[in-house]
Amino acid sequence: MAGGITQAEYWNGEVGTRWARNQTVLDAVFAPLTEALFARAALRTGESVLDIGCGSGATTLEAARRVGPEGAVTGADISVPLLAVARGRAEAEAAGAAPIRFVEADVESADLGTYGQALSRFGVMFFPDSARAFANIRRMLHPEGQLTFLCWRALAENHWVTVPREAVVPLLPEIPQPPPSDTPGPFRFAAADPLVALLRGAGFGTVTCDAIDRDVERGRADTDAKAAEAAAHVALNLGPTAHLVREAEPDLRARAATAVTAALRPLATGGSVRLRAACWLVQAR
């Protein structure tokens, strides 16, 4: 649950629509992390791939390009607005790539066929029952198949969140409490040992969990001041800091924008705001 609503309601409501609208910005932010994900997955021509929580389909399309027309790719997600963007992109961009099937499905329980590879860019932290979900993913892989995914390390290590967050928290009527452990959310797998144990319990015999850090571009413009403004806009519309002000009054949102822009301004250089993102790159087979 996210603030008393189900994940399906969360990703089909205003949050899903915002993600869908900002697909280009998000793909640019995630680009260095996406590169690391695909380098590790090492997809081969002709493979079948399941993209878990595929969102607006950037990684699904990339997988389809990599496995080529002899392969097959499924993108699965519970968010109707994000799947609509993904389908539109596939029509426009998928020439020469593997056939792509986008399905509205809950990967925790759906049977979506059998795959040589499963992958996910930040789409595996939102299952109500992670043990059930990873066991289901294991069942959908060939015996020699593998799962490769990115998830976030601890919030404190992710400066792309902490910098805007620390500017917003003093403005809030209440200090936000951390979510109860093992509930759906971006930082749920911050600790590696329980994550590795979870994957082993789901039937994966070999699990690697590598820390990767990348500076991600949160805003770009022709001046540093505008880049800080752009980065503040992204922070307050998408992701964990946006979540804090999701239901706030316009006045608080305006003050938050001023505070976040001021916090990001000293970090802008050459018309760009880059902040550290800290992830686990996980592979399980």
Ligand X SMILES: C[S@@+](CC[C@H](N)C(=O)[O-])C[C@H]1O[C@@H](n2cnc3c(N)ncnc32)[C@H](O)[C@@H]1O
Query: Could you say whether residue 107 binds ligand X (CB under 6 A)?
Result: yes
Taking CA atoms, 233 is separated from 117, 120, 285, in Å, by 36, 26, 39
Name which position in 102, 127, 189, 204 contacts ligand X (CB under 6 A): 127
Query: Could you say whether residue 182 binds ligand X (CB under 6 A)?
Result: no
Query: Could you say whether residue 102 binds ligand X (CB under 6 A)?
Result: no
Q: Smallest distance from the beta carbon of 106 to ligand X, in angstroms? A: 4
DSSP helix/strand/coil, 47: coil
How many chain residues are in contact with ligand X, going by CB under 6 A? Answer: 23
Query: Could you say whether residue 202 binds ligand X (CB under 6 A)?
Result: no
Query: Could you say whether residue 122 binds ligand X (CB under 6 A)?
Result: yes
Is the separation of the CB atoms in 219 and 232 below 8 Å? yes
Strand segments (E) across 1-63:
48-52
Query: Could you say whether residue 261 binds ligand X (CB under 6 A)?
Result: no
| CA nearest to 126, candidates 282, 281, 2 | 2
For residues 31 to 70, the per-residue mask of contacts with ligand X, x marking binding by CB under 6 A and - elsewhere, is ----------------------xxxx-xx-----------
Query: Could you say whether residue 229 binds ligand X (CB under 6 A)?
Result: no
Q: Please state, in angstroms and rounded to a whole number, the distance separating the CA atoms of residues 40 and 149.
A: 9
Q: Smallest distance from the beta carbon of 21 to ligand X, in angstroms? A: 13
Where b means 16+ CB within 10 Å and e means fewer, 62-88 reads bbbbbbeeebbbbbbbbbebbbebbbe
DSSP helix/strand/coil, 271: coil
- Report CA Rg, the chain: 19
Query: Could you say whether residue 75 binds ligand X (CB under 6 A)?
Result: no
Query: Could you say whether residue 134 binds ligand X (CB under 6 A)?
Result: no
DSSP state of 157: G
Name which position in 26, 228, 256, 267 contacts ligand X (CB under 6 A): 26
Name which position in 71, 81, 123, 164 contacts ligand X (CB under 6 A): 123
| CA nearest to 146, candidates 267, 33, 10, 50 | 50
Q: Smallest distance from the beta carbon of 251 to ligand X, in angstroms? A: 29
For binding to ligand X (CB under 6 A), which residues are involved?
A: 7, 11, 26, 30, 53-56, 58-59, 76-79, 82, 106-108, 121-123, 126-127
